[in-house]
Structure 1
């Protein structure tokens, strides 16, 4: 090796590569010694040569691993012609993976299972894909980013009662092998367990593997640890994106020879079925009612096959692949809400067709685009069809079709309007004055409502800014847009009469709502079709952020883009197929990413080429001080990061990182240690001792009370007709009415300079208040600054100081009926 430094360095690189993937330690591992012997073998076979660099040697080693299957045709370093030595065929009869040493008598991979080797092959193929990328950070991604078991596999299952594997050995008649392995029934049964599961899960998994059983160190004066001392045997499933949730597994034709084997393998789960093509085949059908239950099908398969073929009881199996589904469940049959999202999208599509086909519109409709989070499949709790109950409301005086909440009743259920942007064609009929444009849009809204009612019988409510359309139990908020309106808003006339364009917050918000948000919604909707786990991952991430009272401190769109980044640029991992793994990686991204020095680039449809990415990174570096703390670039937004302008602040990002770090530790313990699984919702419960004041709310007036992390066992009736009740003479429901949000708006408007207000949008019962330390600095008397302040009588000069007692009283007065009590947790206002 002295005359081949590339080989020495390549061995070191290979060892690091194995270590980062946790493949180099434990029983049946691909140790550094095996890796060194492999590179030596490649040198002897002229697969590498002494002029190669370490990178080329490493790449050729990965290529060899990816393209050879040692479970079918092993390799040998032996060149001895001695016929008395065992052949490769002899080794294959005794071992699953074969790599013979130079003497021709020792299998270096004797303890390795086929599942472990398939994982090594898979990792080699994925690593080659990363190395083929021209990105300069590909080597860093491969060698500097750890790939622990729990961040690699979509589902993790534990076999917890390891002594049960002794029964497995007896059932499978493995007594001889058990003796060969010194009574280690874990390693003896492992290869057969993996073989059975591989056969049953084959169409549903990309990769099935297991964690390598570890041998802990022990004192030489004591007995070594026994195989039964381990907590559990850990299995990992990397799921296919499209098929793993299929409830049907079609088998061979009923009269074929393979049918007997299929029935024997699946036992009582196998049944005869006639299919649409008139064929009669064996099949396995798993009883599921919604997508949440479909995600549990791999778990059902594991439990069934291990019970049937290995005598492992159901109580000995713990699966942790779907622990987080509970935070999206409102206790209804729709599970985690995917069916509700599909229903909203179906109704929206129908409304879109109706808008396109409207006759007698003064100007033609050029596009209809939804912007609601449900239409990009990322709304935490998507809208559900609502029919208001008459007894719960009074009729509006101005119109018999509309309802108004009764003061003595609980706040009605929250109805989220599904926003739809309707662009009209450009025409000389459009004025150039911004006020005239607003009035013309109001006229279009009136005409739109008239036509929808006349031609399609839809109930509408018109305002100058939009039309609310009540359809299929949903309320769609249709807003007319004109593509040049933002330009006219920016236009100002200088003193010399010249027209000039100036930045305008109103124009920026208009462009966000009518240009950027429709594009983002349609793009993410398409991305969700490619990655079905993306939507639920984003919803869990938003639920976690909201649970920690930070929903108003970071935009929904920012979270959606961060999650999209995890799916589009997952290297060195593969894109997650389960929402739980996606959320785990979301927390890891918050903790590990260098937000100060690295942008997040979300390359939709690969529209950004290498040169574009380099340009974005260079521009980011040169203008970092002017950019938001989180910078996200997309093909349509390369310079501004429009969804992170203004929020989150540096302090909020720091808080998110701390919370994510603590949540990761807790979540990892619960995923990797079955004994730790007690209450997964603990990572969604915020620490409340960090707030100075807690404003406790009356659940009676929290319309989203049932969305709370810890769902109330009893809540209030919200004025909604039951699904099975007859529906007569429908009325327009109360839309977008949330007293808590209105209360928060008032608090922030009146006291935003003194405090920050934090709230869990989804059913929170407490508003957290943090005083702003800078606002407690005494100020010279000024009539414009007396709000919330009093004259400091102890000061020699007339100074104003905050009156906390008065503000707390105001909090209670503003929230009369909504606020139940106010709890003070600090004494900062006495500074």
Structure 2
């Protein structure tokens, strides 16, 4: 009992002479209990008794906590005012003080708060003296209880009648405290953390910085909260384009109702489903409403530039059943096109919506958006086409592809409703993959499934509640997962039975044992038990190795930035800057000829290699409409809008067609101005090269000059970095 009065936690030696937990705080013991409960959970739910999760998973504060903070106390004399007393050193007392402040300030928003000060580096020697003790920042890790509480914009304090409690409330919160009347007529003290919807993840940061700077007399610059340092990669100007999602969903609802009301079709529309990632909040750049994509163009007085391109959003339509459909797949596709044209004509005639038809698609312009209509015929799902002579390759029909995409969209929508932070984490992951020129290696649906796995299988952690923590776990999963010997199974709605899991494992083992190894990244879902949909063709073994290496490097840098002060102003940008010296050749594009130049993160500059081609920008295409282009009748103006046009995509297709065996392309589909080239395996051997060079034939520089001719007017410059690796 004497020990219990002196220490917060007591674990007695049998003799009762001393306390084994004399250094343990109450919050430390609570967290120890939570870790023990988490370990038991791993043992119960994870494969192999949770051994890998408990003992083989790298755990540090950056990957464990949702919000990480650093406080710089360098030169702060008040810190040592309490002196040193027995077991409680002054810095331990300061830890308790900060913990108490944050606990009171954050309240039920935080599940756990860990305050720890590693005063000296592990290499520190006693001979160096005590001057080192204030150079390392104090670290704080915060685990969020749930997002609904963390994103709460108003905290309600005591009622106006409670004078003493109100005085204490105002003393703690300072200028943020205010007396407000609420909807239930109650008048109470409160704090309000006003922000835009896409900035609500900053509320916890603002609270922490406010209370710590107020009660510790610290400049806010000395308090660093790792939460929004990568938001610049998702923003467009001063706002996040995700803010337009509300108007997009409203436009889709209107379109869906109008499609169901069409009466002059042989078969009525039975269902309408959105397929584009913008509808499930996982698109890096969901489209903004476009001035020229409305039913009526009322005013052309513009305060900003009007883009000339608009990206279409795919919508899947199903018709009521009928037994009159033909069995031939070509005939089915022709009838589907006829149905879509009829639908477009009906929308245009009844509601004045602009519809355009091409050989493959029908696009509808309404409410500022472009919707691309796709028609699913369920009877065609069983139709497969056999092609090839030596190898029999089964190619899914267009309807099967649509069906798989619809299943994926439904699953991700359900996950997004359970985990609101899922969308921002996916957007960061997609931005990272594109920034490092992996757009051709990892399709966006595969990234969505990888991030989904983190939320569905978070052990030995809780599910992430901040975008940077989730992003770090994505990088860790990509770099550390055993892709060679383990399939990654994503079961979002608990739809997979034991027989389904067995089928997935059998498919995985069959592909690994066969001569055709199959997908090196095996992502299995309830709708795709053989990993054919998203990773069947890419990434290759070499691409996956490169992906894992880049992910490991980015994860290490992200951890370093979490714990240490940034050296220089642009350290966080390095996470999204790819080293251009890792390619054999580099193509630099004219950034003012990109379809969406406002999405470009950094202008690419090459300071090494030999420039072998240089070109001027063409005047045939402008990403923004000029004032003279906005004069005329609305019908004529809408014809100037380019739906689904992207010169980068067209250029890459031309290169892949012309130089498919010469080199491999690495590009950024979100709006990068650099394309990386690595030489293919079909380059001539050294002896053959010497022969063809003597004849005036093969020369890598000539190949790159030919690339410049293909992209004339779009390519700014081409740099030759490394020659092809010669075969023996």
TM range (shorter): 0.7 to 0.9
* RMSD over equivalenced CA pairs, Å: 3.3
Give 1:191's aligned residue: 96
Whether 1:487 aligns to 2:382 is: yes
CA 1:608–1:356 in structure 2 vs 1: closer, same or farther (change >3 Å)?
same
Report deviation, 1:614.
4.9
Whether 1:681 aligns to 2:573 is: yes
CA 1:632–1:677 in structure 2 vs 1: closer, same or farther (change >3 Å)?
farther
Give 1:690's aligned residue: 582
3-state SS in 1 of match to 2:48 = coil
- Measure the CA separation in 1 of the matches of 2:166 and 2:549: 56
- Residue in structure 2 matching 1:753, options 644, 653, 661: 661
Contact 1:416–1:475, Cα closer than 8 Å, also in 2: yes
Report deviation, 1:491.
8.3
Contact 1:156–1:320, Cα closer than 8 Å, also in 2: yes
Q: How many residue pairs end up in the alignment?
A: 688
- Measure the CA separation in 1 of the matches of 2:715 and 2:413: 39
CA 1:316–1:595 in structure 2 vs 1: closer, same or farther (change >3 Å)?
same
Give 1:670's aligned residue: 561
Give 1:828's aligned residue: 724
Give 2:177's aligned residue: 270
Report deviation, 1:362.
1.6
- Measure the CA separation in 2 of the matches of 1:284 and 1:113: 30
Contact 2:293–2:367, Cα closer than 8 Å, also in 1: no
Moved more, 415-424 or 437-446: 437-446
Question: How do 1:700-739 and structure 2 match up within 5 A?
Answer: 700-710=592-602, 718-719=624-625, 731=638, 733-739=641-647
Contact 1:288–1:294, Cα closer than 8 Å, also in 2: yes
Question: How do 1:541-560 and structure 2 match up within 5 A?
Answer: 541-560=429-448
Q: Deviations over 1:694-721 (max 9, x none)?
A: 2221222112222122279xx9871289
CA 1:758–1:139 in structure 2 vs 1: closer, same or farther (change >3 Å)?
closer
Contact 1:341–1:377, Cα closer than 8 Å, also in 2: yes
- Residue in structure 1 matching 2:273, options 360, 369, 380: 369
- Residue in structure 2 matching 1:463, options 358, 364, 373: 358
3-state SS in 2 of match to 1:209 = strand
Whether 1:254 aligns to 2:170 is: no
CA 1:654–1:449 in structure 2 vs 1: closer, same or farther (change >3 Å)?
same
Whether 1:562 aligns to 2:470 is: no
Give 2:334's aligned residue: 439
- Measure the CA separation in 2 of the matches of 1:132 and 1:572: 12
- Residue in structure 1 matching 2:546, options 655, 673, 678: 655
Report deviation, 1:828.
2.9
CA 1:472–1:690 in structure 2 vs 1: closer, same or farther (change >3 Å)?
same
- Residue in structure 1 matching 2:127, options 208, 216, 222: 222
Give 2:493's aligned residue: 605
Whether 1:642 aligns to 2:533 is: yes
Report deviation, 1:244.
1.2
Report deviation, 1:640.
3.5
Whether 1:768 aligns to 2:657 is: no
- Residue in structure 2 matching 1:116, options 28, 40, 50: 28
Q: Greater CA radius of gyration, 1 or 2?
A: 1
- Measure the CA separation in 1 of the matches of 2:424 and 2:370: 23
Contact 2:120–2:136, Cα closer than 8 Å, also in 1: no
CA 1:385–1:548 in structure 2 vs 1: closer, same or farther (change >3 Å)?
same
- Residue in structure 2 matching 1:167, options 54, 75, 78: 78
- Residue in structure 2 matching 1:593, options 481, 503, 513: 481
Give 1:155's aligned residue: 67
Report deviation, 1:263.
2.5
Give 1:245's aligned residue: 151
Report deviation, 1:312.
2.7
- Measure the CA separation in 1 of the matches of 2:120 and 2:19: 20
Give 1:133's aligned residue: 45
Contact 2:157–2:190, Cα closer than 8 Å, also in 1: yes
Contact 2:159–2:186, Cα closer than 8 Å, also in 1: yes
- Measure the CA separation in 1 of the matches of 2:263 and 2:536: 41
Contact 2:436–2:577, Cα closer than 8 Å, also in 1: yes
CA 1:503–1:363 in structure 2 vs 1: closer, same or farther (change >3 Å)?
farther
Question: How do 1:385-404 and structure 2 match up within 5 A?
Answer: 385-388=289-292
Q: Deviations over 1:578-601 (max 9, x none)?
A: 111111111111111111001111
CA 1:139–1:459 in structure 2 vs 1: closer, same or farther (change >3 Å)?
same
CA 1:577–1:342 in structure 2 vs 1: closer, same or farther (change >3 Å)?
farther
Report deviation, 1:420.
0.5
- Measure the CA separation in 2 of the matches of 1:149 and 1:821: 44
Give 1:86's aligned residue: 2
CA 1:451–1:259 in structure 2 vs 1: closer, same or farther (change >3 Å)?
farther
CA 1:221–1:249 in structure 2 vs 1: closer, same or farther (change >3 Å)?
closer
- Measure the CA separation in 2 of the matches of 1:195 and 1:275: 29
Whether 1:282 aligns to 2:192 is: no
3-state SS in 1 of match to 2:179 = strand
Report deviation, 1:648.
0.7
Contact 2:385–2:394, Cα closer than 8 Å, also in 1: yes
Report deviation, 1:475.
0.3
Report deviation, 1:617.
3.0
CA 1:616–1:112 in structure 2 vs 1: closer, same or farther (change >3 Å)?
same
Contact 1:688–1:768, Cα closer than 8 Å, also in 2: yes
Whether 1:305 aligns to 2:193 is: no
Report deviation, 1:264.
2.7
Contact 1:184–1:227, Cα closer than 8 Å, also in 2: no
Contact 1:670–1:677, Cα closer than 8 Å, also in 2: no
CA 1:159–1:445 in structure 2 vs 1: closer, same or farther (change >3 Å)?
same
3-state SS in 1 of match to 2:582 = coil
Give 2:407's aligned residue: 519
CA 1:717–1:629 in structure 2 vs 1: closer, same or farther (change >3 Å)?
closer
Give 1:426's aligned residue: 321
Contact 1:389–1:719, Cα closer than 8 Å, also in 2: no
3-state SS in 2 of match to 1:282 = strand
Report deviation, 1:103.
4.2
- Measure the CA separation in 1 of the matches of 2:47 and 2:66: 27
CA 1:611–1:186 in structure 2 vs 1: closer, same or farther (change >3 Å)?
farther
Report deviation, 1:564.
0.6
3-state SS in 2 of match to 1:382 = coil
Whether 1:818 aligns to 2:714 is: yes
- Measure the CA separation in 2 of the matches of 1:115 and 1:607: 39
- Measure the CA separation in 1 of the matches of 2:285 and 2:489: 28
Report deviation, 1:356.
2.5
3-state SS in 2 of match to 1:446 = helix
